[in-house]
Amino acid sequence: MDTRERLVRSTQELLWERGYVGTSPKAILERAGVGQGSMYHHFAGKSDLALAAIRRSAEELRAAAEECLSGPGTAYDRVAAYLLRERRVLRGCPIGRMTQDRDVAESPELRQPLDEMFDWLRARLAEVLADGRRRGELAADLDPVATAATVAAVVQGGYVLARAADDTAPFDAAVQGALALLAARATPGGATTPSPPTSG
Protein backbone atom coordinates (compact mmCIF):
# COMPACT_ATOMS: atom_id res chain seq x y z
CA MET A 1 0.00 0.00 0.00
CA ASP A 2 1.14 3.53 -0.69
CA THR A 3 1.31 6.15 2.05
CA ARG A 4 -2.14 7.62 1.39
CA GLU A 5 -3.74 4.18 1.43
CA ARG A 6 -2.01 3.27 4.71
CA LEU A 7 -3.30 6.49 6.27
CA VAL A 8 -6.88 5.83 5.15
CA ARG A 9 -6.83 2.19 6.24
CA SER A 10 -5.32 3.03 9.62
CA THR A 11 -7.90 5.75 10.19
CA GLN A 12 -10.72 3.37 9.28
CA GLU A 13 -9.52 0.90 11.89
CA LEU A 14 -9.01 3.53 14.58
CA LEU A 15 -12.38 5.18 14.00
CA TRP A 16 -14.04 1.77 14.32
CA GLU A 17 -12.11 1.01 17.51
CA ARG A 18 -12.06 4.41 19.24
CA GLY A 19 -14.46 6.77 17.48
CA TYR A 20 -13.55 10.18 16.11
CA VAL A 21 -12.64 11.87 19.38
CA GLY A 22 -10.47 8.94 20.46
CA THR A 23 -8.59 8.86 17.17
CA SER A 24 -5.66 11.26 17.41
CA PRO A 25 -3.37 12.22 14.53
CA LYS A 26 -0.50 10.69 16.51
CA ALA A 27 -2.31 7.35 16.76
CA ILE A 28 -3.05 7.42 13.03
CA LEU A 29 0.59 8.07 12.17
CA GLU A 30 1.78 5.31 14.50
CA ARG A 31 -0.73 2.80 13.09
CA ALA A 32 0.15 3.74 9.51
CA GLY A 33 3.87 3.79 10.18
CA VAL A 34 4.40 7.14 8.47
CA GLY A 35 5.70 10.55 9.48
CA GLN A 36 3.68 13.66 10.22
CA GLY A 37 4.75 15.30 6.98
CA SER A 38 3.21 12.43 5.01
CA MET A 39 -0.20 12.99 6.55
CA TYR A 40 -0.27 16.69 5.76
CA HIS A 41 1.05 16.06 2.27
CA HIS A 42 -2.07 14.02 1.43
CA PHE A 43 -4.71 15.56 3.72
CA ALA A 44 -5.51 18.99 5.13
CA GLY A 45 -5.83 17.55 8.64
CA LYS A 46 -7.58 14.99 10.82
CA SER A 47 -11.08 15.93 9.65
CA ASP A 48 -10.13 15.60 5.99
CA LEU A 49 -8.50 12.21 6.58
CA ALA A 50 -11.43 11.02 8.70
CA LEU A 51 -13.83 11.97 5.92
CA ALA A 52 -11.85 9.88 3.43
CA ALA A 53 -11.85 6.95 5.87
CA ILE A 54 -15.59 7.21 6.60
CA ARG A 55 -16.34 7.35 2.87
CA ARG A 56 -14.21 4.25 2.30
CA SER A 57 -15.99 2.36 5.09
CA ALA A 58 -19.36 3.36 3.67
CA GLU A 59 -18.33 2.20 0.19
CA GLU A 60 -17.17 -1.16 1.54
CA LEU A 61 -20.37 -1.72 3.51
CA ARG A 62 -22.45 -0.77 0.51
CA ALA A 63 -20.55 -3.26 -1.67
CA ALA A 64 -21.02 -6.04 0.90
CA ALA A 65 -24.74 -5.33 1.19
CA GLU A 66 -25.19 -5.13 -2.58
CA GLU A 67 -23.52 -8.50 -3.04
CA CYS A 68 -26.22 -10.04 -0.85
CA LEU A 69 -29.16 -8.02 -2.15
CA SER A 70 -28.36 -8.64 -5.82
CA GLY A 71 -27.75 -12.35 -5.29
CA PRO A 72 -29.91 -15.27 -6.43
CA GLY A 73 -33.23 -16.37 -5.00
CA THR A 74 -36.42 -14.73 -3.85
CA ALA A 75 -36.66 -11.35 -2.16
CA TYR A 76 -36.76 -13.17 1.17
CA ASP A 77 -33.59 -15.10 0.28
CA ARG A 78 -31.75 -11.90 -0.63
CA VAL A 79 -32.80 -10.03 2.51
CA ALA A 80 -31.91 -13.10 4.57
CA ALA A 81 -28.48 -13.19 2.94
CA TYR A 82 -27.97 -9.57 3.99
CA LEU A 83 -29.13 -10.18 7.56
CA LEU A 84 -27.09 -13.37 7.93
CA ARG A 85 -23.87 -12.24 6.29
CA GLU A 86 -20.71 -12.60 8.36
CA ARG A 87 -20.09 -9.62 10.63
CA ARG A 88 -17.76 -8.72 13.49
CA VAL A 89 -20.75 -8.07 15.69
CA LEU A 90 -18.98 -7.24 18.94
CA ARG A 91 -16.99 -4.49 17.23
CA GLY A 92 -20.22 -2.90 16.10
CA CYS A 93 -20.95 -1.34 12.73
CA PRO A 94 -18.12 0.88 11.45
CA ILE A 95 -20.68 3.31 10.06
CA GLY A 96 -23.23 3.06 12.87
CA ARG A 97 -20.36 3.63 15.32
CA MET A 98 -19.75 7.04 13.77
CA THR A 99 -23.36 8.18 14.28
CA GLN A 100 -22.84 7.88 18.04
CA ASP A 101 -19.85 10.25 17.97
CA ARG A 102 -20.88 13.79 18.84
CA ASP A 103 -18.20 15.47 16.75
CA VAL A 104 -19.28 13.51 13.68
CA ALA A 105 -22.99 14.02 14.31
CA GLU A 106 -22.47 17.78 14.57
CA SER A 107 -20.42 17.99 11.38
CA PRO A 108 -22.55 18.07 8.20
CA GLU A 109 -19.50 17.12 6.13
CA LEU A 110 -18.53 14.08 8.23
CA ARG A 111 -22.15 13.01 8.64
CA GLN A 112 -22.97 13.14 4.94
CA PRO A 113 -21.46 9.73 3.98
CA LEU A 114 -23.33 8.15 6.91
CA ASP A 115 -26.65 9.64 5.84
CA GLU A 116 -26.04 8.62 2.24
CA MET A 117 -25.14 5.06 3.22
CA PHE A 118 -28.23 4.51 5.36
CA ASP A 119 -30.49 6.22 2.82
CA TRP A 120 -29.11 3.94 0.11
CA LEU A 121 -29.50 0.83 2.27
CA ARG A 122 -33.13 1.51 3.13
CA ALA A 123 -33.92 2.34 -0.50
CA ARG A 124 -32.16 -0.79 -1.80
CA LEU A 125 -33.91 -3.04 0.73
CA ALA A 126 -37.24 -1.46 -0.21
CA GLU A 127 -36.48 -2.08 -3.88
CA VAL A 128 -35.81 -5.78 -3.23
CA LEU A 129 -38.96 -6.12 -1.13
CA ALA A 130 -41.09 -4.28 -3.69
CA ASP A 131 -39.73 -6.60 -6.37
CA GLY A 132 -40.67 -9.60 -4.25
CA ARG A 133 -44.17 -8.25 -3.74
CA ARG A 134 -44.52 -7.58 -7.47
CA ARG A 135 -43.44 -11.15 -8.29
CA GLY A 136 -45.90 -12.59 -5.78
CA GLU A 137 -43.23 -13.81 -3.35
CA LEU A 138 -44.44 -11.52 -0.57
CA ALA A 139 -47.90 -10.50 0.58
CA ALA A 140 -49.55 -7.86 -1.60
CA ASP A 141 -50.16 -5.58 1.38
CA LEU A 142 -46.56 -5.64 2.63
CA ASP A 143 -45.12 -2.11 2.91
CA PRO A 144 -41.62 -2.28 1.34
CA VAL A 145 -40.46 1.07 2.74
CA ALA A 146 -41.52 0.39 6.34
CA THR A 147 -40.21 -3.17 6.20
CA ALA A 148 -36.87 -1.97 4.81
CA ALA A 149 -36.57 0.51 7.68
CA THR A 150 -37.28 -2.32 10.13
CA VAL A 151 -34.58 -4.55 8.63
CA ALA A 152 -32.01 -1.76 8.80
CA ALA A 153 -33.00 -0.96 12.39
CA VAL A 154 -32.74 -4.62 13.42
CA VAL A 155 -29.11 -4.74 12.31
CA GLN A 156 -28.08 -1.47 13.95
CA GLY A 157 -30.05 -2.19 17.13
CA GLY A 158 -28.65 -5.71 17.21
CA TYR A 159 -25.12 -4.33 17.23
CA VAL A 160 -25.92 -2.12 20.22
CA LEU A 161 -27.55 -4.94 22.20
CA ALA A 162 -24.71 -7.33 21.44
CA ARG A 163 -22.05 -4.84 22.48
CA ALA A 164 -23.95 -4.03 25.68
CA ALA A 165 -24.13 -7.74 26.55
CA ASP A 166 -20.63 -8.53 25.21
CA ASP A 167 -22.32 -11.45 23.48
CA THR A 168 -23.47 -11.96 19.89
CA ALA A 169 -26.65 -13.76 21.04
CA PRO A 170 -28.86 -10.62 21.12
CA PHE A 171 -27.84 -9.75 17.56
CA ASP A 172 -28.54 -13.28 16.34
CA ALA A 173 -31.92 -13.34 18.11
CA ALA A 174 -32.92 -10.00 16.55
CA VAL A 175 -32.00 -11.28 13.08
CA GLN A 176 -33.92 -14.51 13.56
CA GLY A 177 -36.93 -12.56 14.79
CA ALA A 178 -36.85 -10.29 11.75
CA LEU A 179 -36.59 -13.28 9.43
CA ALA A 180 -39.52 -14.98 11.13
CA LEU A 181 -41.66 -11.86 10.68
CA LEU A 182 -40.66 -11.57 7.04
CA ALA A 183 -41.29 -15.27 6.42
CA ALA A 184 -44.80 -14.80 7.83
CA ARG A 185 -45.44 -12.23 5.09
CA ALA A 186 -44.10 -14.50 2.34
CA THR A 187 -46.37 -16.43 0.03
CA PRO A 188 -45.98 -20.24 -0.31
CA GLY A 189 -42.59 -20.88 -1.86
CA GLY A 190 -41.51 -17.28 -1.27
CA ALA A 191 -39.34 -18.05 1.74
CA THR A 192 -36.82 -20.72 2.64
CA THR A 193 -35.26 -21.72 5.93
CA PRO A 194 -32.20 -19.50 6.45
CA SER A 195 -28.85 -20.78 7.61
CA PRO A 196 -27.77 -19.90 11.16
CA PRO A 197 -26.08 -16.51 11.50
CA THR A 198 -22.30 -16.41 11.31
CA SER A 199 -21.56 -13.51 13.61
CA GLY A 200 -18.44 -13.02 15.64
Taking only the tens place, the pLDDT of each residue in 132-168 is 999 999 999 999 999 999 999 999 999 999 999 999 9
Q: Alpha-carbon distance 120 to 126, whole Å?
A: 10
Task: Please give the class, per CATH, of domain 3-184.
Answer: mainly alpha
- pLDDT for position 100: 86
pLDDT greater than 70 at residue 53: yes
- pLDDT for position 146: 98
- pLDDT for position 193: 55
Domain ranges in the chain are 3-184
pTM of this structure: 0.90
Phi and psi angles of residue 87, each rounded to the nearest 5 degrees, phi first: -140, 155
Residue type, 146: A
Rounded to an integer, the average pLDDT of 168-179 is: 97
Task: Please tell me the chain's helix, strand, coil percentages from 3-state DSSP, rounded to the nearest 5.
Answer: 70, 0, 30
With bands split at pLDDT 50, 70 and 90, how would you rate the model's confidence at 40? confident
% of the chain at pLDDT higher than 70: 95
- pLDDT for position 164: 95
Pick the closest to residue 20 from 121, 90, 114 (CA basis). 114
- pLDDT for position 199: 53
pLDDT greater than 80 at residue 51: yes
